[in-house]
Amino acid sequence: MPELYLILATIFYWVSTATLLNPIAFILLVLIVSQLIFNKKGIGIFLASLLIILNLYMFLALFSELSEFSAFTVSAQKLLFIGSGFLILNLFMSIKLLLKHINLYPERTKILG
């Protein structure tokens, strides 16, 4: 279930920011938990699309942060490999959530006969 991983990733993000009141993490957590409980197609597609966009934005932030290093040091390598690994896993789970709620092969309905 991609929802369980995304809940854990959101909690990890919330704890990593070291702020108790994080409205973005709270809203994401509420959306993911509600999707896990109610399993609605519309919420699933919206949530997956939102998470894909957020993760792509975070890739841009990661590359922006990497460009600030003057040399490719050990800390830059850690940032690149751990950060991109985490974001790739998040992106994979978001795409998996999207594919879970999109019907790729819709059934054809016969109108006449």
Confidence of residue 111 (pLDDT cuts 50, 70, 90): confident
For residue 78, being part of any structural domain is answered with: yes
Residue 103 vs residue 62, higher pLDDT = 62
**Res 4 pLDDT > 90:** yes
13 part of a folded domain: yes
Look at residue 108 and tell me if it is in a domain.
Answer: no
Any domain includes 106: no
In a domain, residue 111? The reply is: no
Buried-state track 19-39, b at ≥16 Cβ within 10 A, e below 16: eeebeebeebbebbeebeeee
Mean pLDDT of the chain: 92
Residue type, 42: G
Single out the residue of 28, 67, 24, 65 nearest to residue 46, CA to CA. Answer: 28
Instruction: Provide the domain count of the chain.
Output: 1
Place of tokens 């994080």: 22
Domain of residue 84: give its range: 2-101
Which residues are CB-contacts of 1 (< 8 A; sequence separation ≥ 6)?
A: 36
pTM more than 0.75: yes
15-24, 37-46, 83-92: the lowest-pLDDT one: 15-24
Task: Evaluate whether residue 110 is within a structural domain.
Answer: no
- The verdict on residue 69 lying in a domain is yes
Residue 113 is predicted with a pLDDT of 57
In this structure, are residues 25 and 10 in contact, taking their beta carbons and an 8 Å threshold?
Answer: yes
- Evaluate whether residue 112 is within a structural domain: no
Phi, psi of 38 (to 5 degrees): -90, -25
**pLDDT tens-digit map of 29-54:** 999 999 999 999 999 999 999 999 99
